Structure 1
Amino acid sequence: MIKSGWEIVIGLEVHAQIASKSKLFSRAPTSFGADPNTNIELFDVAIPGTLPVLNKECIELAVLTALGVGAVINKLSRFDRKHYFYPDLPLGYQTTQFYEPIARDGIITIGSGKTIKIERLHIEQDAGKSIHDQSMYETFIDLNRAGIGLMEIVTAPDLRSAKEASEFLSKLRLILRYLNTCDGDMEKGSLRCDANVSVRPIGSDKYGNRVEIKNLNSLKFLEKAIEFEAIRQIAEIESGNDIIQETRLFDTNNLETRSMRLKEDAVDYRYFPDPDILPVELSDEYISSMKARLPELPDQKLKRYTESLNIPLKEALVLIAEKSVSEFFEKLNSLVQDSKLCTNWLIVELFARMNKLEVKIDDERMIKVHMLAQLLLFLKNNEISASSAKQGLDIMFESGKDPASIIKERSLMQISNHDTIKEIIICVLSENSLEVERYKNGEDRLFSFFVGQVMKIAKGKADPGIINELLKKLLP
């Protein structure tokens, strides 16, 4: 818990790996999981005489992302060289956009309704990977990731809690996935986050010295790191110490930050325009064509679900929380044409079985959307009961058979013939004459008893609507 009287000020720098097929300045592939140092070309390892060739796809996906977060596209942007010397950076500099980024002034609205400003979105190269756990004496370098295109998305210092920071990153990741511009997989490192954290007394308009926490790779660790760092800074200030502007790492085992290095300023990186890369010039026609490619984004989808499909907000938020779930729902509802039925069965019945079997909606073991639609159409048309539909769904997961075959094999078809149900009701009433008398004398709650007895004889297959209708007529 943050001590009362203090306020946290947070800005995020999110590094999203562009979902392009090849790297930013070479034709080397970007596939994850390849053998070390196989996804490389001569330029990626800084062989003298090799030159960068800008990947058009990376520009397109960055522009789409910028438009997706409501940013202003800069018609002219440039690449610069940011100099620092790490073993996994063969060139000795990172190609980035420091002076003139590709976009600026975006916004994202988080769950509380608060709007977070995105100051800039720029494109840059990723570095390689240093591996320290393979040997006690050596560090290994894998350059597969070196040169992959990144989008760095920088917020204003608008966030005021670890929870808000987590909500922002979660919302940004969702937008990226809807746009297909980054897969957002934090475990694989394709989405990483640095948090700039400072504290100040509540009511102060002066920012404190900020500390950067590097490479946070999960929402949980983002929150834990910010909370620990804020508490640490408050304790330092209250002890009479100054906060040093530095870069810290988050120890995920001990859940604490520790010093990595003093924080560099821009002058330390000796930025200057990259002489080998021409400026990126975008026309109004190009920007308009990219706007036309924008899909329906999460906030738009949420509005349509709640207003046009009349789905309650709580359930609608579940449906849009993953792009794959939303797509599954859209296909299901287009086949069944009943948003309430589809929502309930997807969230309640299907999710419960998926969690139990540890199946994701896009797994091979997942039942196909058209098969679930067939089952729900049987239910919608009163051809099977809800309990039979649940039984059928279980069997579908077990066997992979289609609903029609299961319903036929297990005799799950609902009894909807009025004469058949009437005969059962007459039988029930004659065998329960005492209960009939009690019902006549005002014990209305016995109505559900008669329904249950009819269902018992019909083995749960009688249409409940018809049972209720006929019982009301046949009971004295």
Structure 2
Amino acid sequence: MATTYGSFEAVIGLEVHAQLLTRTKAFCGCATSFGDPPNTHTCPVCLGLPGALPVLNREAVRMAVSAALALGCAVQESSVFARKNYFYPDLPKGFQISQFDRPLALRGQLEIETEAGKTRAGITRVHMEEDAGKNVHGIGGLSVVDLNRAGTPLIEIVGEPDLRSGAEAAEYLKRLREILMFIGVNDGNLEQGSFRCDANVSVRKVGETKLGTRTELKNINSFRFVAEAIDLEIRRQIALIEQGGRVRQQTRGYNAEKKETYLLRDKENESGYRYFPEPDLPPLVVDEAFLADVRGALPEPPVDKRRRFTESLGLTPYAASVLTGHPQIAAFFEEAARLHGDAVKVANFVQGEVLRDTRTTGLSATFPVAPGQVAALLRLVDEGAISGKQAKEVYTEMAGTDRAPGDIVRDKGMAVMSDAAAIEAVAASVIAANEKQAAAYRAGKAALFGYFVGQIMKKTGGSANPAVVNDVLKRLLDGAPATGG
């Protein structure tokens, strides 16, 4: 269901630039590493010096094709690079090598789900291009240019104008980022600019089909700010129209502190870039063998992984969502579940304990323990060697080491108390010390049973076998026959 703003409707299309995780740039051998001293990864090609010729990075093509296929696009057998001409300090050649009328891939789609329900957003195209450099302001009162980033390989993913609210736009970005991370072509880092979004926003009266004049919101670096900026821009355009004004085609920024969009510049049309085919690069031909090889290497999509986790492994939708929040977290969980055998038990423990101490950076993740340690620890609980509470204590001792949980249990003298006679002695002393509660339980307050269980576990330091505790208490409190011991 579309989100409306009074008698108006928003129309939103997103353009996402995603940096491909190659070691070298799109058309030269310079490194793509982030955060190095300015202008240390440059050469005649990425500096745009006369006579320097570009050579296309094959790995960048493979990653771009992977992304296109993962998004359901039709990869074109032949695509053409073009020069996109504009003048800006961080663009040393005076043009950007991109693709225009013959892009790499066409017609994909992305399924998203918000409070308004599920919907499919179309993807117009995926094309390859190079990044520009970076303007750095305020150094000694000057603005300087760092060209380390110039020539870094990107894909631009152009969405259809199918989104109707800031919330839908944010969800679209999350799902898109997730796909690119799971196939290993982008690290999803919004703060460093390796995954960034421009939003084209317009409004029209509900029921109209003609598109209104659009503005472009540039370089917003969080999902929350994307949603905020789009909704504020929608309301700005509606207010402008209702006051008798007209929306101008502009590029605008977003001030998160003031909660407002602001003018950057009037926006050019595509004709203003004076595209023409790049004469130094031949058409990019993707043959069937290359396409089949890339398609065969694609991993399971995250949406399919979540569905498998719920339908085949028995996880809740929430648990499946948490455990597919990062490719390495999903891999950790699956390996621990494979080694242990009970996916639900493993999921609960990973969510409750392991993820608290897990750190993710880009596509990397640092875990406090190994999947095998988790599986071995939970087996000790299954076997009755330790209780669930003791398992948390063992985990704390084990975190950050390669120690086996069984060794920790032995060294600390931890073991579950399963001796019925010993537990009965503790239970009897607890009941004697709580006569009023015992009488109230026998008079019908069944909830007090949990109170007695808690008191016994407290006295035994959590080491008493819960099944034996329940059996003994039933026998002592209400005369139920013993079921084991």
Instruction: Establish whether TM, by shorter chain, passes 0.5.
Output: yes
Name which of 235, 257, 264 aligns with 1:260: 264
**Correspondence 1:189 to 2:193:** yes
Correspondence for 1:132:
137
Give the residue type in structure 1 aligned to 2:270. Answer: A
- SS of the equivalent of 1:31 reads coil
Structure 2 counterparts to residues 73-112 of structure 1, below 5 A = 73-111=75-113, 112=117
Q: 1:192 to 1:427 in 2, by over 3 A?
A: closer
Q: 1:415 to 1:41 in 2, by over 3 A?
A: same
Correspondence for 1:422:
421
Correspondence for 2:353:
349
* Alpha-carbon distance in structure 2 between the residues aligned to 1:431 and 1:311: 38
Structure 2 counterparts to residues 234-313 of structure 1, below 5 A = 234-313=238-317
1:324 to partner: Cα distance: 2.1
**Correspondence 1:211 to 2:215:** yes
Q: 1:273 to 1:282 in 2, by over 3 A?
A: same
Cα deviation code 1:344-385 (max 9, x no counterpart): 11222333x43xxx8459655723333233222212222111
**Correspondence 1:371 to 2:373:** yes
Q: 1:66·1:73 contact (CA, 8 Å) conserved in 2?
A: yes
Correspondence for 1:329:
333
1:387 to partner: Cα distance: 1.1
Give the residue type in structure 2 aligned to 1:156. Answer: E
Q: 1:398 to 1:310 in 2, by over 3 A?
A: closer
Q: 2:82·2:276 contact (CA, 8 Å) conserved in 1?
A: yes
Counting aligned pairs with the same residue, the percent is: 39
Worse overlay, 397-406 or 150-159: 397-406
Worse overlay, 248-257 or 125-134: 248-257
Name which of 113, 121, 143 aligns with 2:118: 113
1:399 to partner: Cα distance: 7.1
Q: 2:84·2:95 contact (CA, 8 Å) conserved in 1?
A: yes
1:172 to partner: Cα distance: 0.4
Correspondence for 1:389:
391
- SS of the equivalent of 1:139 reads strand
Gaps of 5+ in 2: 480-485
Gaps of 5+ in 1: none
Worse overlay, 119-128 or 437-446: 437-446
Q: 1:212·1:248 contact (CA, 8 Å) conserved in 2?
A: yes
1:401 to partner: Cα distance: 5.0
TM-score (norm 2): 0.90
Q: 1:360·1:366 contact (CA, 8 Å) conserved in 2?
A: no
* Alpha-carbon distance in structure 1 between the residues aligned to 2:298 and 2:206: 41
Name which of 165, 190, 205 aligns with 1:161: 165
Q: 1:193 to 1:305 in 2, by over 3 A?
A: same
- SS of the equivalent of 2:381 reads helix
* Alpha-carbon distance in structure 2 between the residues aligned to 1:293 and 1:390: 39
1:390 to partner: Cα distance: 1.6
Cα deviation code 1:176-218 (max 9, x no counterpart): 1001111110111101110000011212212110001111222
* Alpha-carbon distance in structure 1 between the residues aligned to 2:16 and 2:408: 49
Cα deviation code 1:89-132 (max 9, x no counterpart): 11111111101110011111012421010000000010000111
Cα deviation code 1:65-107 (max 9, x no counterpart): 0011111110110101111011111111111110111001111
- SS of the equivalent of 2:139 reads coil
1:62 to partner: Cα distance: 0.3
* Alpha-carbon distance in structure 1 between the residues aligned to 2:5 and 2:285: 49
- SS of the equivalent of 2:24 reads coil
Cα deviation code 1:217-267 (max 9, x no counterpart): 221221121122111111111111111111112233423222122211121
Correspondence for 1:20:
22
* Alpha-carbon distance in structure 1 between the residues aligned to 2:89 and 2:452: 79
TM-score (norm 1): 0.92
Correspondence for 2:56:
54
Give the residue type in structure 2 aligned to 1:304. Answer: R
* Alpha-carbon distance in structure 2 between the residues aligned to 1:334 and 1:90: 52
Q: 1:436 to 1:25 in 2, by over 3 A?
A: closer
* Alpha-carbon distance in structure 2 between the residues aligned to 1:3 and 1:467: 60
- SS of the equivalent of 1:230 reads helix
Name which of 112, 118, 127 aligns with 1:122: 127
Correspondence for 1:30:
32
Q: 1:197·1:229 contact (CA, 8 Å) conserved in 2?
A: yes
* Alpha-carbon distance in structure 1 between the residues aligned to 2:168 and 2:352: 28
Q: 1:2·1:230 contact (CA, 8 Å) conserved in 2?
A: no
Correspondence for 2:151:
147
**Correspondence 1:231 to 2:235:** yes
Give the residue type in structure 2 aligned to 1:147. Answer: G
- SS of the equivalent of 1:182 reads coil
Correspondence for 1:406:
408
Give the residue type in structure 1 aligned to 2:78. Answer: L
- SS of the equivalent of 2:121 reads strand
Give the residue type in structure 2 aligned to 1:59. Answer: V
Give the residue type in structure 1 aligned to 2:33. Answer: S
- SS of the equivalent of 1:343 reads helix
Q: 1:228 to 1:457 in 2, by over 3 A?
A: closer
1:140 to partner: Cα distance: 0.4
Q: 1:97·1:123 contact (CA, 8 Å) conserved in 2?
A: yes
* Alpha-carbon distance in structure 1 between the residues aligned to 2:459 and 2:197: 62
Give the residue type in structure 2 aligned to 1:342. Answer: V
1:443 to partner: Cα distance: 6.4
* Alpha-carbon distance in structure 2 between the residues aligned to 1:256 and 1:344: 42
Q: 1:410 to 1:360 in 2, by over 3 A?
A: farther
1:402 to partner: Cα distance: 4.2
1:467 to partner: Cα distance: 2.8
Give the residue type in structure 2 aligned to 1:117. Answer: G
